[in-house]
Amino acid sequence: MRVSRLAVALVMALPLVTASTSAGPSPERTPIALTSVLPAVAEATPDPGDDFRITSGTTITGDADIGGQLAAILRPATGFALPISTGPAENSIRLGREPGHGAEGYRLTVRRDGVELLATERAGLFNGVQTLRQLLPAAIEADSPRRAKWIIPGGTINDRPRYAYRGTMLDLARHFHSPGEIRTHIDRIARFKINHLHLHLSDDQGWRIQIDAWPRLTEVGGAPGTGVGGDGGGFLTKQDYRDLVRYAADRNVTIVPEIDMPGHVNAAQTAYPELTCDRVAPRPRTDMRVGYSTLCVREEITYRFVEDVIRELAEMTPGPYLHIGGDESFATPHGSYLAFQRRVLPLVEKYGKIPYGWHEIGQSPAAARSVLQFWGRERNHPSVATAVAAGAKLIMSPANRTYLDMEYDRLTPGGLDWAGAIEVSTAYGWDPATLLPGIPEASILGVEAPLWSETLRTEDDIEFLAFPRLVAIAEIGWSPRATHDWPSFRARLGAYGPRWVRDGLRFHRSPEIPWS
Ligand code: TNX
């Protein structure tokens, strides 16, 4: 019911959105401010006398890979040929490498006679291009050339991330999203320098990734009708998954796969009753309850299953992390939960991956070399603090700040409300470094905004709940704390709105934001 209300509200909102912002910038328009970027850049020194104008004679030089991506953005928008060459050239946008910018940082220098983007790694060049596209007029997103006004504001940007991990999550288990929908989402998140996409691939309702050793997981658990409320169904083949990994990597996004266990396993058990202690297949479940299923911790077959899944998942995942869930295992006795983690956490390392799990895995002493995803609220969590003191790292996903499946307010359609309503200012108004008492900042790898999919079905549903809140989380993760400033953020976000409109993205037009 919530889903259809969401769809209706989106359709009704659309003409309004388009009408208010379709005029486009005038040719006389002054350049966009160097400081207008989302997420905020670390340092910007504007030099208004030194604007650069892209013309029919402009070339792109240096790195052919990211230079090619830049050309693919600029050519259709400007109508200019913008050839890519390797040598130095006047009137060029040059992409080069130099040491000193870290894994993802870059320096962008804009002068009247040329633009230079320098980074140490490919990721830094990619990030610099995301900045550059925001410095060009919003019409860059449209396909009609208006040649006169391709001005890049003069000055210098020095930029690098506060945290190495800036993520979001899609839940494919409650409602499956197709590879095409996932690719579209990757395009949209990468604009804001989000560099990890966590895929929640299994839960009580469905199993969404092919595992060769256990084929019934997807035959049964990925069948039609395995979404919440009996919707949809579907799964990723290994080929789909590998293609997504590559597509994401081109856009500086690392895929983080999750198989949730020992709870949230009803779909696996309907396919393989031998994974239950009584060997009786449970009935398929497409309701929204949690915490009722558990693997049978005392049986060896459980560990053969878990090892096969971890091995096959690790084989197709080049990224460092493998997420093993571990949340809400209310049907697993505490001692059994610890026994399970003692065997399973080392299995992840056996296949060359860093064990990653919801913060409950921190109850296990075996979690000292793991990453914990904190999804609680601001208060003391003794088992999290103990695990961190023993060496575990943290990704911050406080539910009352980062959960993209929470409703914006009482009136917006879609979403749940157990962690409260989350408007943009709530998503923006916190600091990962001070959220939990006694956690040193060096133990925090970054932030992630999960989007659980109980109430969402379509691409529009994803976008409405993710945007604009995900941009607030992206800024929390990327920008230095010194830049944190709500008035500045809301102004920059408001100015970004026309780009989403031109892109056809159905975002929430939050009343907190002064949309252009
Ligand atoms: C809690 S947060 C869950 C999920 C639900 C979500 C809905 C967490 C680790 N588990 O099983 O989908 O709430 O908001």
- pLDDT at residue 10 in the model: 37
Is residue 512 flagged as an active site residue? no
User: What would the pLDDT profile of 325-337 be if each residue is shown by its tens digit?
Assistant: 999 999 999 999 9
- pLDDT at residue 90 in the model: 86
Mean pLDDT of 291-319: 98
What is the CA 260 to chain-centroid distance, rounded? Answer: 19
User: What would the pLDDT profile of 90-127 be if each residue is shown by its tens digit?
Assistant: 899 999 999 999 999 999 999 999 999 999 999 999 99
User: What would the pLDDT profile of 370-400 be if each residue is shown by its tens digit?
Assistant: 999 999 987 888 999 999 999 999 999 999 9
Position with higher pLDDT, 13 vs 230: 230
Pocket test for ligand 1, best of 452, 453, 455 (most atoms within 8 A of CB): 452
Our answer on whether the CB atom of 374 is closer than 6 Å to any ligand 1 atom is no
Is residue 241 very low, low, confident or very high in pLDDT (cuts 50, 70, 90)? very high
Using a 10 angstrom Cβ sphere, with 0-12 exposed, 13-18 middle and 19 or more buried, the burial of residue 183 is middle
Task: Output the residue whose Cα is nearest ligand 1's atom 8.
Answer: 327
Q: How far apart are CA 450 and CA 444, in angstroms?
A: 17
- pLDDT at residue 74 in the model: 93
**Cβ pair 365, 380 in contact under 8 A:** no
Residue showing tokens 């946008």: 93
pLDDT for 411 beyond 60:
yes
User: Pick the catalytic residue: 43, 121, 307, 328?
Assistant: 328
- pLDDT at residue 22 in the model: 36
Q: How far apart are CA 211 and CA 309, in angstroms?
A: 7
Residue showing tokens 């949309």: 515
* CA–centroid distance, residue 393 to ligand 1 (Å): 21
Q: Is the dihedral of CA 42, 47, 50, 51 positive or negative?
A: positive
Our answer on whether the CB atom of 416 is closer than 6 Å to any ligand 1 atom is yes
**Cβ pair 42, 482 in contact under 8 A:** no
- pLDDT at residue 161 in the model: 98
Helix axes 2-21, 486-503, angle to 10 degrees: 90
Single-letter amino acid, residue 257? P
Task: Output the residue whose Cα is nearest ligand 1's atom 5.
Answer: 452
* Lowest model confidence (mean pLDDT) among 174-183, 396-405, 407-416, 438-447: 407-416
- pLDDT at residue 482 in the model: 97
**Cβ pair 2, 414 in contact under 8 A:** yes
Using a 10 angstrom Cβ sphere, with 0-12 exposed, 13-18 middle and 19 or more buried, the burial of residue 101 is buried
Whole-angstrom Cα Rg for the chain: 24
Q: How far apart are CA 456 and CA 7, in angstroms?
A: 9
What is the longest distance spanned by two Cα atoms in the chain? 76
Region of 114 please: left (phi>0), alpha (psi -120 to 50) or beta: left
DSSP letter (8 states) at residue 85: E
* Lowest model confidence (mean pLDDT) among 58-62, 309-313, 411-415: 411-415
User: What would the pLDDT profile of 158-199 be if each residue is shown by its tens digit?
Assistant: 999 999 999 999 999 999 999 999 999 999 999 999 999 999
Our answer on whether the CB atom of 478 is closer than 6 Å to any ligand 1 atom is no
Our answer on whether the CB atom of 375 is closer than 6 Å to any ligand 1 atom is yes
Helix, strand, coil share (%) of the chain residues, nearest 5: 40, 15, 45
Report pTM: 0.93
Our answer on whether the CB atom of 405 is closer than 6 Å to any ligand 1 atom is yes
Q: How would you classify the pairing of strands 114-119 and 106-111? A: antiparallel
User: What would the pLDDT profile of 349-372 be if each residue is shown by its tens digit?
Assistant: 999 999 999 999 999 999 999 999
Is residue 139 very low, low, confident or very high in pLDDT (cuts 50, 70, 90)? low
DSSP letter (8 states) at residue 66: H
What integer best gives the mean pLDDT of the chain?
92
pLDDT for 20 beyond 70:
no
Q: How far apart are CA 151 and CA 161, in angstroms?
A: 26
